[in-house]
Chain A
Amino acid sequence: MSNGNMNLTLKVWRQKNAQAAGKFVTYKAENISPDMSFLEMLDVVNESLTHKGDEPINFDHDCREGICGMCSLYINGHPHGPKRGITTCQLHMRTFHDGETITIEPWRASAFPIVKDLAVDRSAFDRIQQAGGYVSVNTGGVPDGNAIPIPKVVADEAFNSATCIGCGACVAACKNASAMLFVSAKVTQLGLLPQGQPERYRRVQSMVAQMDEEGFGNCTNTGACEAECPKEIKLTNIARMNNDFLSAKLFRQEVLHEEQHGGA
């Protein structure tokens, strides 16, 4: 923990595009205030690169308050850096020491090709959501909000899963580059709520099939995803997803279920 301003050495992954070879380049970050966020520290480095006519380091970022899921830096071997339960943009420089060397890499997974430097292409996540991460209702013609009572504990549990920001830290943390935590969070949110019941078993199969098609790895229950998730999504989501997936596969549950609930 540092108080005065710091001087740091950064080892940053630079790569022009997905096809080009990448390499680490070393930069000095000088006179860094401990109150800066990690991204503000990179802003300072980029300003000085720009002044020298060099190309600034490219990284994804937007809201800078931990909710949009855009920032995605692998810092000293951890997605979003060494602290738990926060995104890169919420990491502050007071976490580091004067004189420290910090290694900054992009998310590494074959399903997340590099866009440039530290930014990667996470469109695979969108395609998984498109495969079934919704309740099939059109605008209008829905029942009154209070016509569907939901026990508070169920609503709260669904909410815990719904807090996923789709950043991809779970994939980056996993030695298999598995996306199971991400996919299971949506499957769990909608699988717990009454609105999600009619399509529950169809949904899990479509989303898992798309996940496999995108080339994400398998889950071997090491739990690195849970440990590194900035929103602290629990591993139990994966258990719930496996349960629904197996039920669907073994018992053709979606047929029975849709007969009972009137599916899509």
Chain B
Amino acid sequence: MSLDAKIPQGPLAEKWSKHKFNLKLVNPANKRKYDIIIVGTGLAGASAAASLAELGYNVKSFCFQDSPRRAHSIAAQGGINAAKNYQNDGDSVYRLFYDTIKGGDYRAREGNVYRLAEVSVNIIDQCVAQGVPFAREYGGLLDNRSFGGSQVSRTFYARGQTGQQLLLGAYSALNRQIHAGKVKMYTRTEMLDVVVVDGHAKGIVTRNMLTGAIETHAGHAVLLCTGGYSNVFYLSTNAIGSNVTAAWRAHKRGAFFGNPCYTQIHPTCIPVSGDHQSKLTLMSESLRNDGRVWAPKTVELAEQLRKGTLKADQIKEEDRDYFLERKYPSFGNLVPRDVASRNAKEMVEDGRGVGASGFAVFLDFADAIKRLGEETVAAKYGNLFDMYIQITDENPYKQPMRIYPAVHYTMGGLWVDYNLMTTIPGLYALGECNFSDHGANRLGASALMQGLSDGYFVIPYTLGDYLATIGPKKVDTSHPAFEQTKKEVIEHVNKLLALKGTKTVNEYHRELGHIMWEYCGMARTEEGLKKAKGLIQALKADFWKNAIVTGDNEEVNASLERAGRVADFIELGELMVDDALMREESCGGHFRVESQTPDGEAKRDDENFAFVAAWEFKGENQPEVLNKEPLVFESVHLTQRNYA
């Protein structure tokens, strides 16, 4: 199948404006004849639901949590980028575009990324109008900070809770439409399949998580806004409930999966404390603005630190290696996430890791406290320091923090064209659920931007074009495809409920996580990936024989919910390994040990790998087929990233 990304022709800066003009419109009086299904209520889902309902469409919105306000966007801390250039420091739409393309290691589409930078400015205006309490200067205007390797201050923030405030803004817009009767909200409802009629997505099958009722819903289009799949690693900074099921079931119905191996490992997380750990906690990378990353210069000192016979503040200045500042003098502690993460890993492998486990490096605020005073540091990072104290029982005002990378975001996702449509016509993917804008590595404060860009400012235009093309004639749930898909979902649920083996679903999930982290994590080798593939296949076979699923369908059953999600994660894990194995280059978050520069940096192979990998499902236990969408660069010159 040849993939058409539908990127508009013409100069970069005019593509989106021209495209908007060329898209068909739905007559205002006809909009109420269309039903739109939106799964997920994070930034992308809530903003899309509110915006489409405001236009007059009938929206059905679904989330698995008890309230749409709890979607995992709520946990984003640091901020949201926008090319406002309020600081007069040289920012522009083009610069944000350029930074994002370069940061993504030239594995994203120019057209998409430019549009993202272009609409970023509207997002801030929209959120302010909703009453989102962004940080402000004494003069009453919006405050900005530099964030995650950016050399301009373009990040808007709301203390360390930016995601929460933006999501509550989108949730309030959604609530207004629920109140107006334009959105029907289904909470504690999990999507388990897409219904495809004559090649077009026409609805979904859901499970009511309170009663177990398996139900069908029909619509003219289906929007998946279901987030990323970091939890394939078991331990990640995602919420416990975050899962790939909606996207994966859509994939098995014909939606191609783009770049599954592109995962982001975030450098500043609180290290693992033991086997009981259920999730990892990220601390905003804004901490790297004032914190200095270091490890002891020698293995001997590191050993003493690990045993606890020496404390961090007893290490002399000349015995500390501020390795990011040393290796990357112009970016220092603010190098991109993948670079910072890999360097921490190298320190640990070098035997210079700290903390009881040895899997950590220091993030030190002593200099910042000396320079700015404890009060200023507390005003900037107080809530993050408090969080650290809660979890570790250590005081970062007195001792340096211990940090270690953790899986945080997945750049891969369902393949979509410029209109955000997947390879199933009528099925769209927005936000982290799609693969589109971050290439092989996402810059800090860009996830919130993309989620809201897709929901507020892209889908309201592009969806209309499709709806105008298909017309308002309804396909309802009496169509045999709905009954058939529902039957298959019930069979799958029953198959899970029949599992009465010896190992808990959680144990399988943890084991999958170990395999993924070890062989498909921060550094990947051909040998390791091949081994991982075998291990995952064996795990899958064992799961379907020996897993334990308790209870019945007709009740609240967390064990059943979890089992369905883990079964899908296992299948996704294998595809990620296939993708990582195929991509014999290093780029962004994907580091193939075989492909590195003499300095140990990621080495791209633009001649052979400047493409999007879009994987096509061919049936249970069949190898997936690779489709390639070539990446064409007309505006930027491809360079090897260099942050020295």
The residues of A with any CB-CB pair to B shorter than 8 Å are 16-17, 33, 35-37, 39-40, 43-44, 47, 50-51, 53-56, 58, 60-70, 86, 90, 92, 94, 115-116, 119, 121-123, 125-126, 129-140, 142-146, 148-152, 155, 158-159, 162-163, 165-166, 189-190, 193, 195-196
The residues of B with any CB-CB pair to A shorter than 8 Å are 47, 50-51, 54, 65-70, 72, 74-75, 84, 86, 122, 124-131, 133-142, 156, 158-159, 161, 164-165, 168, 171-173, 175-176, 178-179, 185, 187, 210, 237, 239-241, 273-274, 276-279, 281-282, 387, 390-391, 393, 456-457, 460, 500, 502, 504, 506-507, 548, 550-551, 555-556, 558-559
Given A35-B273, A122-B67, A133-B175: A145 and B84 interface contact (C-beta under 8 Å): yes
Q: Say how far B616's CB is from chain A's closest CB, in angstroms.
A: 33
Contact call A155/B390, Cβ cutoff below 8 A = no
Which residues of chain A are near B127, meaning CB under 8 Å? 145
Contact call B84/A90, Cβ cutoff below 8 A = no
Which residues of chain B are near A119, meaning CB under 8 Å? 66, 556
Which residues of chain A are near B131, meaning CB under 8 Å? 134-135, 158, 189-190, 193, 195-196
- Which listed residue, A65, A126, A134, touches B69 by the CB 8 Å rule? A126
Q: Say how far A224's CB is from chain B's closest CB, in angstroms.
A: 23
Which residues of chain A are near B179, meaning CB under 8 Å? 130-132
Contact call B122/A140, Cβ cutoff below 8 A = yes
- Which listed residue, B54, B390, B457, touches A90 by the CB 8 Å rule? B390
- Which listed residue, A54, A62, A92, touches B65 by the CB 8 Å rule? A62
Residue among B178, B460, B558 with the highest chain A CB neighbour number at 10 A: B558
Which residues of chain B are near A70, meaning CB under 8 Å? 65-66, 70
Which residues of chain B are near A134, meaning CB under 8 Å? 130-131, 172-173, 175-176
In the assembled complex, the Cα of A86 lies from the Cα of B131 at a distance in Å of 26
Contact call A142/B133, Cβ cutoff below 8 A = no
Residue among A44, A62, A123, A139 with the highest chain B CB neighbour number at 10 A: A139
Given A63-B72, A195-B129: A135 and B172 interface contact (C-beta under 8 Å): yes
Residue among B68, B130, B139 with the highest chain A CB neighbour number at 10 A: B130
In the assembled complex, the Cα of A100 lies from the Cα of B239 at a distance in Å of 30
Which residues of chain A are near B128, meaning CB under 8 Å? 142, 145, 148, 195
Q: Say how far B152's CB is from chain A's closest CB, in angstroms.
A: 17
Contact call B556/A58, Cβ cutoff below 8 A = yes
Show 14 A/B contacts (Cβ-Cβ < 8 Å), sorted by A. A33-B276, A37-B391, A40-B276, A51-B548, A56-B559, A60-B66, A65-B387, A68-B70, A69-B70, A130-B176, A139-B457, A155-B135, A155-B136, A195-B131
In the assembled complex, the Cα of A143 lies from the Cα of B137 at a distance in Å of 19
Given pairs A51-B548, A90-B387, A155-B133, 14 additional interface contacts (CB within 8 A) = A35-B273, A36-B276, A39-B278, A69-B69, A90-B390, A122-B66, A137-B129, A137-B130, A145-B84, A146-B86, A152-B137, A155-B134, A159-B158, A189-B131
Closest CB pairs A-B (n = 3):
A149-B140, A134-B172, A142-B129
Which residues of chain A are near B500, meaning CB under 8 Å? 53
Which residues of chain B are near A90, meaning CB under 8 Å? 387, 390-391
Q: Say how far B622's CB is from chain A's closest CB, in angstroms.
A: 33
- Which listed residue, A140, A149, A193, touches B139 by the CB 8 Å rule? A149
In the assembled complex, the Cα of A59 lies from the Cα of B551 at a distance in Å of 15
Contact call B74/A67, Cβ cutoff below 8 A = yes
Given A50-B559, A115-B556: A135 and B84 interface contact (C-beta under 8 Å): no
- Identify the closest chain B residue to A159 (Cβ): B133
Which residues of chain B are near A159, meaning CB under 8 Å? 133, 158-159, 165
Residue among B54, B279, B506 with the highest chain A CB neighbour number at 10 A: B279
- Which listed residue, B122, B172, B550, touches A53 by the CB 8 Å rule? B550
Given A43-B506, A130-B179: A123 and B239 interface contact (C-beta under 8 Å): no
Contact call A67/B161, Cβ cutoff below 8 A = yes
In the assembled complex, the Cα of A126 lies from the Cα of B183 at a distance in Å of 14
In the assembled complex, the Cα of A55 lies from the Cα of B555 at a distance in Å of 12
Which residues of chain A are near B136, meaning CB under 8 Å? 150-152, 155
Given A56-B550, A195-B131: A143 and B138 interface contact (C-beta under 8 Å): no
- Which listed residue, B393, B550, B551, touches A92 by the CB 8 Å rule? B393
Q: Say how far A157's CB is from chain B's closest CB, in angstroms.
A: 9
Which residues of chain A are near B164, meaning CB under 8 Å? 67, 163, 165
Which residues of chain A are near B550, meaning CB under 8 Å? 50, 53-56
- Which listed residue, A56, A123, A135, A152, touches B138 by the CB 8 Å rule? A152
Residue among A66, A67, A196 with the highest chain B CB neighbour number at 10 A: A67
Which residues of chain A are near B176, meaning CB under 8 Å? 130, 134, 136
Contact call A143/B129, Cβ cutoff below 8 A = yes
- Identify the closest chain B residue to A210 (Cβ): B179
- Which listed residue, B68, B165, B178, touches A162 by the CB 8 Å rule? B165
Contact call B140/A151, Cβ cutoff below 8 A = yes
Which residues of chain A are near B556, meaning CB under 8 Å? 17, 58, 115-116, 119
Contact call B555/A16, Cβ cutoff below 8 A = yes
- Identify the closest chain A residue to B506 (Cβ): A47
Contact call A163/B70, Cβ cutoff below 8 A = no
Q: Say how far B254's CB is from chain A's closest CB, in angstroms.
A: 30
Which residues of chain B are near A150, meaning CB under 8 Å? 136, 140
Contact call A139/B70, Cβ cutoff below 8 A = no
Given A139-B460, A146-B86, A193-B133: A50 and B239 interface contact (C-beta under 8 Å): no
Which residues of chain B are near A51, meaning CB under 8 Å? 502, 504, 548
Contact call B140/A50, Cβ cutoff below 8 A = no
Which residues of chain A are near B141, meaning CB under 8 Å? 146, 149
Which residues of chain A are near B241, meaning CB under 8 Å? 62
In the assembled complex, the Cα of A152 lies from the Cα of B140 at a distance in Å of 6
Q: Say how far A253's CB is from chain B's closest CB, in angstroms.
A: 20
Contact call B273/A63, Cβ cutoff below 8 A = no
- Which listed residue, A50, A123, A139, touches B504 by the CB 8 Å rule? A50
In the assembled complex, the Cα of A125 lies from the Cα of B140 at a distance in Å of 32
Given A56-B558, A155-B134: A33 and B69 interface contact (C-beta under 8 Å): no
In the assembled complex, the Cα of A50 lies from the Cα of B500 at a distance in Å of 10
Which residues of chain A are near B551, meaning CB under 8 Å? 55
Contact call A65/B122, Cβ cutoff below 8 A = no
- Identify the closest chain A residue to B69 (Cβ): A166
Residue among B54, B129, B179, B457 with the highest chain A CB neighbour number at 10 A: B129
